[in-house]
Structure 1
Amino acid sequence: MSDATLDWPATFEQTDPTERTRNNRYEASLRTSIDDVAAELKRVGVDDWRLSTAARHQKQNPRYPYANASPTDPSAVVRWTMDGEQYAVACDAYSRLRDNVRTLYLYLREKRKMEQRPVVTGESEFANARLPPADESAVAAPAPADEPHEILGVAPDAPDAVVRGAFRELVKERHPDHGGSEREFTRLKRAREVMLDD
């Protein structure tokens, strides 16, 4: 039985196969670890998620690889949607698929616990798992590129202090923490960088 195709996020680095190690600390089976991943995601309100591995998955139960799965590539990726955003976590540090899936479960559990703490932070604990728009499955066509000075609303030859001031004012309303989008915030940062580099 040949391996399936792993859906590794394009922006994530992968471990060199020669650097993968064997993990003897986990005793849980692959199935138990997948069930634990499902339970953690359910606790944070995620209904729709999928596990991607290079192993062939069961047709009737697509979240589970076949019991004798031993793919050439032991990497595992969990992808989900939450509040309209795409998320993914991946692990390929270990030489066995079950250890990589177990590590993903432990990571998700810790993130969920941190999310429940009564501590206020700038973003959700899961923010670092949010995928950039280019890696989402359905991405809208990019808007035509405006000139950096147009994005910031300044003259093409504006002094650095004016560029910085315009950026600060725009960020107040367009930063993701203030109701703006990550895409627009990134666009502002790039425009500022280009203007300040000139």
Structure 2
Amino acid sequence: MTLDWPAGWDRTPPARRERARKFEASLGSTTQSLEGELDRMGVDDWRASIGNQHTKSNGLPRHNANPDDPGFVLRWHKDGDQYAVACDAYSRLRDNVRAVYLWIHETRMRGNRPVETGDAEFAAARLPAGDDAVAADPPPHEVLGVAKDAPESVVESAARALIKEHHPDAGGDREAFKRIQRAREVMLDG
């Protein structure tokens, strides 16, 4: 069985995959949490994909899954739109599944805020009509231009400078600004 990675999305080269030290949850508890998030979202249907057959009937990995390819892809349909979230930035399947779960949870929680935006909270995960797909963000440390293990003070300083440079109110690119904010959050979350 091969991983059903979205067409056109770049893969993280195996040599650049990190070992996450910030995720304490097990693979089993993470998949349970992910199923709960999908139920709360009220998706029409969903499926997960990993790089081997150690999966449950819904495609989520079993607690002992340890494929050679640690990538994880989650796809779902809601209200006629298709969505996908994929992660292969980490060297262990558990950490890639956890990153996808956290992204889903945080994105769903933003929808609970009384804030108006130009698009739905999951617009970033919506797949285009054809095979054209948008590549995922580069690793957070590359976005910020710091070392993978940079101290919080260095991360904060780099993020502040980049946010100031790319702020939309100062004529900066909104997508770059959002990417910098996400990278800062990820690096300080650990």
State the TM-score bracket (shorter-chain normalisation): 0.5 to 0.7
Equivalent of 1:8, from 5, 19, 43? 5
**Aligned runs of 1:55-134 on 2, under 5 Å?**
55-58=52-55, 61-134=57-130
Equivalent-residue separation in structure 2 for 1:62 and 1:45 (angstroms): 16
Question: Which whole-Å deviations, capped at 9, do the CAs of 1:121-169 have from their partners, x for residues lacking one?
Answer: 1101100100011139xxxxxxxxxxxxxxxxxxxxxxxxxxxxxxxxx
CA RMSD of aligned residues (A): 1.7
Equivalent-residue separation in structure 2 for 1:64 and 1:120 (angstroms): 33
Residue in structure 1 matched with residue 45 of structure 2 by the alignment: 48
**1:6 deviation in Å?**
0.5
Question: Which whole-Å deviations, capped at 9, do the CAs of 1:49-91 have from their partners, x for residues lacking one?
Answer: 11111021346x3433344321111000000001100000000
Q: What fraction of aligned residue pairs are identical, expressed as a percent?
A: 54
Equivalent-residue separation in structure 1 for 2:46 and 2:131 (angstroms): 16
Where structure 2 has 5 or more consecutive residues not aligned to the other structure, the ranges are: 133-190
**1:47 deviation in Å?**
4.3
Residue in structure 1 matched with residue 29 of structure 2 by the alignment: 32
Q: Which has the larger radius of gyration?
A: 1
Count of residue pairs the alignment pairs up: 132
Assess if the C-alpha contact under 8 Å between 1:41 and 1:47 holds in 2: no
TM-score normalized by the length of structure 2? 0.65
The structure with higher relative contact order (CA 8 Å, sep 6+) is 2
Assess if the C-alpha contact under 8 Å between 1:53 and 1:76 holds in 2: yes
Equivalent-residue separation in structure 2 for 1:106 and 1:24 (angstroms): 15
Equivalent-residue separation in structure 2 for 1:19 and 1:58 (angstroms): 26
Could you say what secondary structure the match of 1:54 adopts?
coil
Assess if the C-alpha contact under 8 Å between 2:47 and 2:60 holds in 1: no
Could you say what secondary structure the match of 1:41 adopts?
helix
Where structure 1 has 5 or more consecutive residues not aligned to the other structure, the ranges are: 137-198
Equivalent-residue separation in structure 2 for 1:53 and 1:117 (angstroms): 33
Equivalent-residue separation in structure 2 for 1:108 and 1:65 (angstroms): 17
Equivalent-residue separation in structure 2 for 1:67 and 1:43 (angstroms): 22
